[in-house]
Amino acid sequence: MAEFPKLTDRPEWTALADHRAQGLPHLRELFAADPGRAERYVVRVGDLHIDYSKQLITDETLALLQELAAATDVFALRDAMFRGEKINVTERRAVLHTALRAPRDAVVEVDGENVVPKVHAVLDKMAGFAERVRSGEWTGHTGKRIRNVVNIGIGGSDLGPAMAYEALRPYSARDLTFRFVSNVDGSDLHEATRDLDPAETLFIVASKTFTTIETITNATSARSWLLKAFDGDQKAVARHFVALSTNAEKVTGFGIDPDNMFEFWDWVGGRYSYDSAIGLSLMIAIGPDRFREMLDGFRIVDDHFRTTPAEANAPLLLGLLGIWYGDFCDAQTHAVLPYSHYLSKFTAYLQQLDMESNGKSVQRDGRPVEWQTGPVVWGTPGTNGQHAYYQLIHQGTKLIPADFIGFARPLPELSEELRAQHDLLMANFFAQTQALAFGKTAEEVRAEGVPEELVPHKTFQGDRPTTTVLAPQLTPSVLGQLIALYEHKVFVQGAVWNIDSFDQWGVELGKVLAKRVEPALTEGADVPGLDPSTTALVAAYRTLKNA
């Protein structure tokens, strides 16, 4: 691998640091001097109108950031990804979630094999199965139609389908119940199944590796729950369990009919997988046509990212803005604030996408990084957060760049009265970014007759950066566009930071230690090698457990 020059020694990096050290005018001044930035700092991708005019940047900042992207060859790595090269260096794997939404006639090769026909064969198999469940043709062991679908998975095998199901609920088959079980805490499965009839319940076991302990434990318990209802008749499993995995051997070992397995491949990362077979529960919910619309939405942004010049390339711009704040303005976190109740799981989904991808401290060749990498990503839907943590964003001591995501139209399903609430929701959406950017000066506060001692408390400094993403309506295509936008943004940042955004070694140690500790809890066994603090805690746990 070619040695990547140290990022912080690059002239493009030091130019940005110098630019930052000179300080930037307040957003109030930037807009006063250049009102045109409101039109200029906008990029459109598919249905997404992305306004970054309220960012703490000037034309010079943008030019310097673009020079950094050019110097770090972001587009060369992008092209290598789309070509199927093994850019996941530590696992020696291609990174081809973009092939999951490639059109039928596309050619994307991994090790000389075109993978697109395989992708479409699985999509077709999923569509056939989804239609059979939705129509009632697929029945359970006793001949009853399936009414409940329970997805068992964790991480990327849960967050994607769970988030997208919530987002697209209005498009879903309302006569079916969908639940998502991820936590190895048995109460998750208990609550998901306690009111369900086993004869009407389909379990989808979603696990790329089919070795993840949480998922296999929950799936085993679900199988027991099912078999209990059918006097242990193993034949029931074939009608009530399907698997989504890359590991046919383990799936068969678990007792799931290989015909009921929907395959994907090692070049699909877990957190990039919900548009693969992992999306089966979603496809049953919204139907194959809507699912394909969603894939088309992903593809719009893939094509944009692949072909649009740097200055108008939305994922590149958003990625570079994140680098500006994290590496040059000392921001530690990034808030994602969707103004849609349907996007209640959107930020949780992005947490895995971003933090598992870019939460790294070594470079692709193993050298330590000496710059900031991925931010803490957080947020919940507006307007709820406004009455909770926005105080800190407005008046706290921390710089928190935020993405505001909103829609022009509510979903048609709502009553007229509830639809009318949408303007109030969006009035808040626009008001918040205005308040964050422009604040309220002490003079403005005084002019309202506020007593002098309260003036500092009621002053808003402003100059808090936001990006506004506006779309016509939350449709399957728009959801696909949004997710692809963030996927590629994360890619851009990883490329500049020279980290492998596609491995996740950081989750391994905890898994190994949990396996080691478990016998101490269940059997009271002595566990060699436990540190004194954990040994004492385990002893306290045992005492409490047996009290």
Tokens 């949990």 belong to which residue? 514
Q: Which residue's CB is nearer to ligand F6P, number 128 or number 506?
A: 506
Tokens 């400094």 belong to which residue? 461
Q: Which residue's CB is nearer to ligand F6P, number 138 or number 346?
A: 346
Shortest distance, CB of residue 214 to ligand F6P, whole angstroms?
A: 8
Residue 416: active-site member? no
Q: Which residues contact 146 (CB under 8 A, 6 or more apart)?
A: 133, 136, 138, 139, 140, 176, 200, 201, 202
Q: Which residues contact 190 (CB under 8 A, 6 or more apart)?
A: none
Q: Which residue is nearest to ligand F6P (CB)?
A: 270
Shortest distance, CB of residue 271 to ligand F6P, whole angstroms?
A: 5
Shortest distance, CB of residue 406 to ligand F6P, whole angstroms?
A: 29
Options 131-139, 207-215, 259-267, 436-444: segment touching ligand F6P (CB under 6 A): 207-215
Q: Which residue's CB is nearer to ligand F6P, number 257 or number 266?
A: 266
Shortest distance, CB of residue 215 to ligand F6P, whole angstroms?
A: 5
Binding status of residue 494 toward ligand F6P by CB under 6 A:
no
Q: Which residue's CB is nearer to ligand F6P, number 192 or number 445?
A: 192
Label the pairing between strands 201-206 and 148-152: parallel
Residue 356: active-site member? yes
Shortest distance, CB of residue 434 to ligand F6P, whole angstroms?
A: 38
Output DSSP code: residue 475. Answer: -
Reduce the DSSP state of residue 457 to 3 states and report it: helix
Alpha carbon 242 to its chain's center: 25
Label the pairing between strands 333-338 and 466-471: unpaired
In the structure encoding, which two tokens stand for residue 479, read together? 């959801």
Asked if 215 and 206 count as a contact pair (C-beta separation under 8 A), the reply is yes
Options 134, 208, 364, 488; binder of ligand F6P; rule CB under 6 A? 208
Of 316, 206, 287, 218, whose CA–CA distance to 251 is shortest?
Answer: 206
Shortest distance, CB of residue 504 to ligand F6P, whole angstroms?
A: 5
CA distance 463 to 40: 19
DSSP character string of 293-343: HHHHHHHHHHHHHHHS-GGG-HHHHHHHHHHIIIIIS---EEEEEES-GGG
Options 8-16, 120-128, 152-160, 452-460: segment touching ligand F6P (CB under 6 A): 152-160
Options 184-192, 202-210, 309-317, 379-387: segment touching ligand F6P (CB under 6 A): 202-210
Options 84, 270, 406, 476; binder of ligand F6P; rule CB under 6 A? 270
Options 23-31, 129-137, 151-159, 521-529: segment touching ligand F6P (CB under 6 A): 151-159
Alpha carbon 355 to its chain's center: 9
Catalytic residue among 398, 511, 515, 545, which? 511
Q: Which residue's CB is nearer to ligand F6P, number 161 or number 406?
A: 161
Q: Which residue's CB is nearer to ligand F6P, number 354 or number 356?
A: 356
Of residues 276-315, those binding ligand F6P (CB under 6 A): none
Catalytic residue among 214, 263, 293, 356, which? 356
Q: Which residue's CB is nearer to ligand F6P, number 30 or number 154?
A: 154
Options 38, 107, 431, 507; binder of ligand F6P; rule CB under 6 A? 507
Of residues 65-124, those binding ligand F6P (CB under 6 A): none
Asked if 358 and 499 count as a contact pair (C-beta separation under 8 A), the reply is yes
Catalytic residue among 387, 417, 452, 508, which? 387
* Per-residue binder mask for ligand F6P (CB under 6 A), 153-172, x = binder: -xxxx---------------
Q: Which residues contact 475 (CB under 8 A, 6 or more apart)?
A: 47, 171, 293, 297
Q: Could you tell me how many residues of this chain bind ligand F6P (CB under 6 A)?
A: 14
Shortest distance, CB of residue 283 to ligand F6P, whole angstroms?
A: 17
CA distance 303 to 459: 45
Secondary structure of 73-101 in HEC code, one letter for each residue: CHHHHHHHHHHCCCCECCCCECCCHHHHH
Shortest distance, CB of residue 87 to ligand F6P, whole angstroms?
A: 17
Of 430, 207, 465, 125, whose CA–CA distance to 326 is shortest?
Answer: 465
Residue 422: active-site member? no
CA distance 398 to 41: 25
Q: Which residue's CB is nearer to ligand F6P, number 148 or number 351?
A: 351
Of residues 212-231, those binding ligand F6P (CB under 6 A): 212, 215
Of residues 355-374, those binding ligand F6P (CB under 6 A): 356
Options 207, 373, 498, 501; binder of ligand F6P; rule CB under 6 A? 207
Shortest distance, CB of residue 269 to ligand F6P, whole angstroms?
A: 7
In the structure encoding, which two tokens stand for residue 91, read together? 């696992």
Asked if 476 and 171 count as a contact pair (C-beta separation under 8 A), the reply is yes
Instruction: Give the Cβ contact number of residue 229 at 10 Å.
Output: 16
Shortest distance, CB of residue 137 to ligand F6P, whole angstroms?
A: 29
Element (H, E) at 242: strand 241-245
Q: Which residue's CB is nearer to ligand F6P, number 97 or number 271?
A: 271
Residues engaged in binding ligand F6P (CB under 6 A): 154-157, 207-209, 212, 215, 270-271, 356, 504, 507
* Active site amino acids: 356, 387, 511
